[in-house]
Amino acid sequence: MTGNVSIVIVSHSPKVAEGTADMVRQMVGEEVRLAHCGGDPDGGLGTNVGAIMEAIEAVYSPKGVAILVDLGGAETNSEMAREMLPAEKAAHVAICNAPLVEGAIMAATEASGGADLEAVRATAEEFQA
């Protein structure tokens, strides 16, 4: 398997999602493919399954996609989005139980070294500042 695990950032706020993605880009660099989404279908605070699915598809790799989420609905909607993908893709998508910003940095750093999806998820989840 070539390439690195990709990262998807899902926040209730489009600005938080964008800012987190920006931090990952600046701190970790360009080796990891990264997508972000946030906001409800009308642009308010919230998360939306369609946008999460698009974000996953945009950076999908058989190596894996690690999703970082902020609060409750972001996780529920991400799980829903994963389940609505074709099963062979869904198997390579993991939702990390980690704080959004810290988890995204940790996951991307781990992913940049070529780690597999399980290692990327574990790294994001073990970090407690």
Partner 1 sequence: MIRKERKVSDMHNGKLLEAAVAAIREHADELTALDQAIGDGDHGINMKRGFDALAEAAGELERLELPAALQKAGMILVMKVGGASGPLYGSLLMAMGKAAAHPPASADDVAGMLKAGIEAVKARGRSDAGAKTMLDVLIPVLQALESHPEDPCAAAVRAADDGLEATRGMLATKGRASFLGERSIGHLDPGARSSALLVHAICNVLEDS
Partner 2 sequence: MTETVTGKVVITDPAGLHARPAVKLTKLAKSFASDIDIRAGEDGGWINAKSPSAVMKLKARHGTTLHVRATGADAQGGVDALVDLVKRGFG
Question: Which residues sit at the interface with partner 2, rule CB under 8 A?
Answer: 26-29, 105-106, 109-110, 112-114, 123, 126-127, 129
Q: Which parts of 19-48 interact with partner 1 (CB under 8 A)?
A: 40-42, 44-48
Instruction: Report yes or no: 106 and 124 within 8 Å, Cβ to Cβ.
Output: yes
Which of 4, 9, 11, 12 is catalytic? The answer is: 12
Whole-angstrom Cα distance, residue 121 to residue 99?
12
36 tagged catalytic: no
Q: Which does 73 bind (CB under 5 to 8 A by kind): partner 1, partner 2, none?
A: partner 1
Helix ranges restricted to H, 60-99? 72-84, 87-90
The rounded distance, in Å, linking the Cα atoms of 30 and 11 is 21
One residue of 1, 15, 22, 84 binding partner 1 per CB under 8 A: 84
Please, how many CA atoms are within 13 Å of residue 16, restricted to the half-sphere of its CB?
A: 21
76 binds, among partner 1, partner 2, none (CB under 5 to 8 A by kind): partner 1
Q: Output the CA angle 50-121-25, nearest 5 degrees.
A: 70
Instruction: Give the other-Cβ count within 10 Å of 42's Cβ.
Output: 7
Q: Which does 72 bind (CB under 5 to 8 A by kind): partner 2, partner 1, none?
A: partner 1
Site residues for partner 1 per CB under 8 A: 40-42, 44-50, 71-73, 76-77, 79-80, 84
Catalytic residues: 12
